[in-house]
Amino acid sequence: MSSQGALKRETPVGVPQRSVGERSEPERSGGTSTGAAGPLAPDPEVPARAARRRFTGEYKLRILEAAEACRTPGDIGALLRREGLYSSHLAAWRRQRRAGELKGLTPKSRGPQSKKSDPQQRKIHELEQENRRLRDRLQRAETILAIQKKASALLGIPLNNPESDEND
């Protein structure tokens, strides 16, 4: 056996033979190597804000049923890895199912919850707004009347006031 034969490894047919010191990576000459589909490096662009995952009620129930069907150790872990879930998801979904929260099995909208409008409360609110508007209008009318009285007194124009207005 020659010294060169000792450096070569035996490989299957069709696979190029390399000596011990050769690299298995393609040579790079300053640029990045590209494959048939494009660059090998991952895309450096990161979304500005990650999208929050949302699970439907049907999906939650299906996963809970699949988790209950697991019999051997490690099956639940495999299920969670396959679905990309955490054990806390199962715990929360089981708690929601035990509490009978059908709404808990559908994604909840985030943010402040809208209040249910009661027809009586809405009517009360409308009447209070109208009351405030009429009080403001009355205040403006009384101010205009006071200015007219002062102007007539300054100009010496007598006002024809019935005494019922003075008593109110």
Rounded average pLDDT over 151-167: 73
Nearest CA to 88 among 109, 67, 110, 74?
67
Least confident among 17-26, 92-101, 112-121: 17-26
Query: What is the C-alpha to C-alpha distance for residues 100 and 93, in angstroms, rounded to an integer?
Result: 11
pLDDT at 1 over 50: no
Nearest CA to 19 among 2, 36, 32?
2
pLDDT tens column, 125-137? 999 999 999 999 9
Q: What is the DSSP letter of 26?
A: P
Please give the distance of CA 22 from its chain centroid, rounded to a whole number. 52
User: Residue 19: pLDDT band by 50, 70, 90 thresholds?
Assistant: low
Query: What is the C-alpha to C-alpha distance for residues 110 and 108, in angstroms, rounded to an integer?
Result: 6
* Strongest mean pLDDT among 5-9, 92-96, 99-103, 141-145: 141-145
How confident is the model at residue 76, as a pLDDT?
93
Could you tell me if 112 and 106 are in contact, meaning their C-beta atoms sit under 8 angstroms apart?
A: no
Rounded average pLDDT over 3-9: 49
The model's pTM = 0.36
Could you tell me if 64 and 94 are in contact, meaning their C-beta atoms sit under 8 angstroms apart?
A: yes
Rounded average pLDDT over 68-77: 92
